[in-house]
Amino acid sequence: MFNSPPPFTIDSHNLYLEIPPSPQVLKQPYSTPGATQRAWINQLCLQAFLPWFREEMDSSAKVYPNTAALPSFWEVVNGTAITFDISRLILIPTLAMDGDELRVQQEWVDIPEWVADYYIGVQVNPDDGWIKIFGYTTHHNMKIKGVYDVGDRTYSLENEDLIPDINVLWVTRQLHYLEALRAEITPLASIHQIQAENLLERLGNPDVKFPRLVVPFPQWGVLIAHGGWREKLYELRQGLPIQWSIRQWLQTGVGNLAQQWGWGKREFIVVPAGMRSKEAFAGLSRQLIIAGDTYELRIFPTGNPENQIWRFELRSATRGSQIPVGFKLRLLTEDLQPFENNEDTATTPVDMLYLEVILQPGEGLVWETEPAAEDYDREILRF
Query: Percentage of residues in the chain with pLDDT exceeding 90?
Result: 77
- Taking residues 116-124, report their average pLDDT: 97
Torsion of CA 205, 211, 194, 237, to 10 degrees: 30
- Taking residues 159-167, report their average pLDDT: 94
Beta-bridge mates of residue 84:
87
H-run or E-run covering 286 = strand 279-290
Instruction: Give Cβ neighbours of residue 340 (< 8 Å, ≥ 6 apart).
Output: none
Mean pLDDT, all residues of the chain? 91
**pLDDT (tens digit, 9 = 90+) per residue, 3-25?**
444 544 455 678 999 999 876 76
- Sign of dihedral through CA atoms 220, 224, 229, 235? positive
Question: CA geometry: angle at 37 spanning 36 and 38, to 5°?
Answer: 90
Q: What is the largest CA-CA distance in the chain?
A: 76
Identity at 290, one-letter amino acid code: I
Q: State residue 11's pLDDT score.
A: 59
Q: State residue 178's pLDDT score.
A: 72
- Sign of dihedral through CA atoms 301, 304, 305, 306? negative
Q: State residue 269's pLDDT score.
A: 76
Q: What is d(CA 82, CA 68) in angstroms, rounded to the nearest whole number?
A: 14
Cβ burial of 112 (10 Å; 0-12, 13-18, 19+) is: exposed
- Domains of the chain by range and CATH? 15-174 (3.40.1350), 193-238 (no CATH), 246-382 (no CATH)
**pLDDT (tens digit, 9 = 90+) per residue, 258-277?**
898 899 998 887 655 555 66
Residue 288 in this model has a pLDDT that exceeds 70? yes
Q: State residue 115's pLDDT score.
A: 98
At 23, is the secondary structure helix, strand, or coil? Answer: coil
Q: State residue 12's pLDDT score.
A: 63
Identity at 172, one-letter amino acid code: T
Cβ atoms of 211 and 76 within 8 Å: the answer is yes
**pLDDT (tens digit, 9 = 90+) per residue, 332-375?**
999 999 999 999 999 999 999 999 999 998 899 999 999 999 99
